[in-house]
């Protein structure tokens, strides 16, 4: 009898060890591989985590808004940059305007850079908030592990002291969650054990929610980081284009300055040569006056045939970019003729750019003259004259003595169409375009029409 009792006790002892092992493994299985504790967790950590998640959401929304703003800024910057590149390549703006355009671009680039810096600061704040939220989740996981271990130890202790005669029934439950859910009904545990089990259930639910929040936020942060990186690449590209534009306009400025210096030297030499100066004055005065009368007659004839309108609607555009070397009106250059009270009067605007720069029609119209001025004393200037209406014509003088395809007397031209290239034909001291506007038989300041 004693032997049988000893065998029964031994089996019961072995059974207790197996149950203890089962409970320990079952309770601890969901949390294997958990990192070491990072910080003590307050009782209201879920509430704090929810608030922090809401703060993260606000930061993410703010960064998305900032990214959209930068994208819009850079889109506008790309458009303006493209226009500037075209202007630089074709030299179809005055140098002062081009320099102002590049300065404007610099302001825009600086604005994008400022926005990007704000974005980087927001990104750092996002990552800090995300790391803190992840740390809270890790701490919650550690606390859950500790509570599960405490409950496992108490269950084993209760079994060993024979306080849970119905424990074997619980081992047939579907999962440890079922065991914990029904602990107050199936186990004769104390109120403290029931509270601990309830806390574990709450911890498990809280932990799931916290981990979901962390993963959702991490995905958003990673996506935003990729977009921020893209915006940085775009900004670097715009900076490179801007620096290239600055270098190009500096090189263009050097070419124009060299051309203007050459002209200044030629003008000084011409001023000392009385015979050459007299010929130039005569050419700039008499020859242009005689040609102007002829052109006015041609414009009137074309108007009578319905080839050109009676009035020109709209503004003119600059025919070429570069530096203004001589404005319309009274001038100190002795090669211009006397008109009115001015000893020397310039009847157009001179624009200097590198030789062979394209010259464009300032407005739509009909070509009424192409060729060398027949009234010039040699050397003669090559001109293109366009009638925009019966009362308005524009002159383009000193160009290369060769007409591009489609440029001939009677041809219709559109605004911006290339009509020739800048050169130094006629009585010219260097490559430049003499651009003049004649209205109702009188040369007027071209600036009034652009």
Q: Using CA atoms, how far apart are residues 365 and 207, in angstroms rounded to an integer?
A: 78
Which of 221, 254, 287 is the endpoint of a domain? 254
Which residues does residue 345 pair with via DSSP β-bridges, in sequence order? 330
H or E element: which one contains 332? Answer: none
- Judgement on whether residues 279 and 368 belong to the same structural domain of the protein: yes
Residue 32 has pLDDT above 60, yes or no: no
- Judgement on whether residues 209 and 348 belong to the same structural domain of the protein: no
Q: Which of 432, 393, 220, 202 is nearest to 312 (CA)?
A: 393
Q: What are the tens digits of pLDDT across the range 255-274?
A: 888 888 988 888 887 677 76
Task: Answer yes or no: is 265 within a domain.
Answer: no
- Judgement on whether residues 47 and 117 belong to the same structural domain of the protein: yes
Which of 224, 254, 284 is the endpoint of a domain? 254
Which residues does residue 350 pair with via DSSP β-bridges, in sequence order? 326, 434
- Is the pTM of the predicted complex or chain greater than 0.75? no
Higher-confidence position of 42 and 444: 444
Where does 373-432 show beta strands of DSSP type E?
Answer: 382-387, 392-399, 412-413, 418-421
H or E element: which one contains 329? Answer: strand 329-330
- Judgement on whether residues 247 and 279 belong to the same structural domain of the protein: no
- Residue 187 pLDDT: 47
- Judgement on whether residues 436 and 381 belong to the same structural domain of the protein: yes
Task: Answer yes or no: is 181 within a domain.
Answer: yes
Residue 182 has pLDDT above 60, yes or no: no
Q: Which of 383, 348, 389 is nearest to 366 (CA)?
A: 389
Task: Answer yes or no: is 3 within a domain.
Answer: no
Q: Using CA atoms, how far apart are residues 376 and 297, in angstroms rounded to an integer?
A: 19
- Judgement on whether residues 214 and 350 belong to the same structural domain of the protein: no
Question: Can you tell me which residue has the tokens 């570069």?
Answer: 322
φ, ψ (nearest 5 deg) of residue 145: -60, -45
- Judgement on whether residues 333 and 222 belong to the same structural domain of the protein: no
Q: Using CA atoms, how far apart are residues 284 and 346, in angstroms rounded to an integer?
A: 9
- Judgement on whether residues 221 and 315 belong to the same structural domain of the protein: no
- Residue 29 pLDDT: 45
- Residue 51 pLDDT: 74
Q: Using CA atoms, how far apart are residues 192 and 153, in angstroms rounded to an integer?
A: 13
Q: What are the tens digits of pLDDT across the range 85-94?
A: 877 777 766 7
Higher-confidence position of 228 and 366: 366
- Residue 36 pLDDT: 38
Task: Answer yes or no: is 84 within a domain.
Answer: yes
Q: Using CA atoms, how far apart are residues 100 and 266, in angstroms rounded to an integer?
A: 31
- Judgement on whether residues 242 and 303 belong to the same structural domain of the protein: no
- Judgement on whether residues 294 and 147 belong to the same structural domain of the protein: no
- Judgement on whether residues 194 and 294 belong to the same structural domain of the protein: no
Q: How many CA atoms lie within 13 A of 436 on its CB side?
A: 21
Rounded alpha-carbon distances, angstroms, from residue 12 to 19, 171, 339: 10, 15, 130
Q: Using CA atoms, how far apart are residues 89 and 244, in angstroms rounded to an integer?
A: 12
Question: Can you tell me which residue has the tokens 């001939």?
Answer: 408
Which of 199, 223, 254 is the endpoint of a domain? 254
Domain containing residue 381? 274-449
Task: Answer yes or no: is 261 within a domain.
Answer: no
- Tokens for 424? 């130094």
- Residue 441 pLDDT: 92
Query: Mean pLDDT score of the chain, rounded to an integer?
Result: 79
Q: Are 311 and 424 in contact (CB under 8 A)?
A: no
Q: What are the tens digits of pLDDT across the range 294-315?
A: 898 888 887 767 788 888 888 9
- Judgement on whether residues 234 and 354 belong to the same structural domain of the protein: no
Q: Using CA atoms, how far apart are residues 213 and 50, in angstroms rounded to an integer?
A: 8
> Can you give the CATH number for the domain in which 400 is found?
2.70.70.10
Rg over CA atoms, the chain: 45
> What single-letter DSSP state applies at residue 320?
S
Domain count, the chain: 2
| CB-based contacts of 217, cutoff 8 Å, min separation 6 | 53, 56, 57, 60, 130, 133
């Amino acid at each position: 009898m004693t032997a049988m009792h000893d065998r029964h006790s031994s089996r019961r002892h072995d059974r207790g060890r197996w149950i203890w092992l089962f409970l320990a493994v079952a309770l601890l299985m969901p949390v294997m591989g958990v990192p070491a504790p990072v910080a003590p967790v307050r009782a209201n950590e879920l509430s704090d985590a929810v608030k922090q998640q809401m703060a993260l959401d606000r930061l993410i929304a703010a960064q998305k808004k900032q990214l959209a703003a930068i994208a819009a800024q850079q889109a506008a910057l790309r458009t303006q940059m493209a226009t500037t590149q075209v202007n630089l390549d074709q030299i179809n703006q005055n140098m002062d305007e081009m320099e102002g355009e590049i300065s404007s671009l610099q302001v825009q680039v600086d604005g994008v850079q400022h926005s990007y810096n704000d974005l980087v600061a927001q990104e750092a704040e996002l990552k800090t908030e995300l790391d803190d939220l992840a740390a809270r989740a890790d701490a919650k996981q550690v606390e859950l592990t500790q509570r599960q271990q405490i409950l496992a130890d108490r269950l084993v202790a209760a079994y060993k002291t024979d306080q849970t005669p119905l424990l074997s029934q619980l081992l047939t439950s579907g999962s440890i969650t079922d065991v914990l859910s029904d602990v107050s009904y199936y186990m004769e545990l104390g109120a403290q054990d029931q509270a601990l089990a309830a806390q574990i259930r709450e911890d498990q639910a809280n932990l799931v929610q916290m981990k979901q929040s962390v993963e959702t936020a991490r995905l958003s942060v990673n996506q935003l980081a990729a977009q921020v990186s893209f915006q940085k690449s775009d900004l670097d590209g715009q900076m490179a284009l801007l620096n290239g534009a600055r270098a190009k306009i500096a090189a263009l400025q050097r070419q124009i300055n060299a051309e203007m210096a050459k002209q200044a030297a030629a003008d000084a030499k011409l001023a000392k040569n009385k015979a050459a100066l007299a010929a130039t004055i005569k050419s700039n005065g008499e020859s242009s006056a005689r040609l102007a009368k002829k052109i006015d007659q041609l414009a009137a004839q074309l108007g009578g045939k319905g080839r050109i309108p009676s009035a020109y609607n709209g503004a003119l555009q600059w025919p070429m970019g570069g530096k203004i070397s001589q404005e319309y009106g009274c001038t100190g250059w002795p090669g211009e003729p006397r008109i009115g009270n001015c000893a020397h009067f310039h009847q157009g605007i001179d624009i200097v750019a590198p030789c062979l720069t394209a010259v464009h029609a300032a407005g739509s119209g009909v070509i009424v003259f192409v060729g060398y001025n027949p009234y010039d004393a040699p050397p003669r200037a090559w001109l293109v004259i366009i009638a925009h209406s019966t009362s308005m014509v524009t002159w383009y003088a000193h160009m290369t003595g060769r007409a591009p395809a489609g440029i001939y007397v009677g041809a219709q031209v559109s605004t911006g169409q290339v009509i020739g290239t800048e050169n130094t034909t006629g009585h010219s001291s260097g490559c430049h375009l003499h651009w003049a506007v004649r209205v109702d038989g009188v040369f007027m300041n071209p600036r009034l029409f652009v």
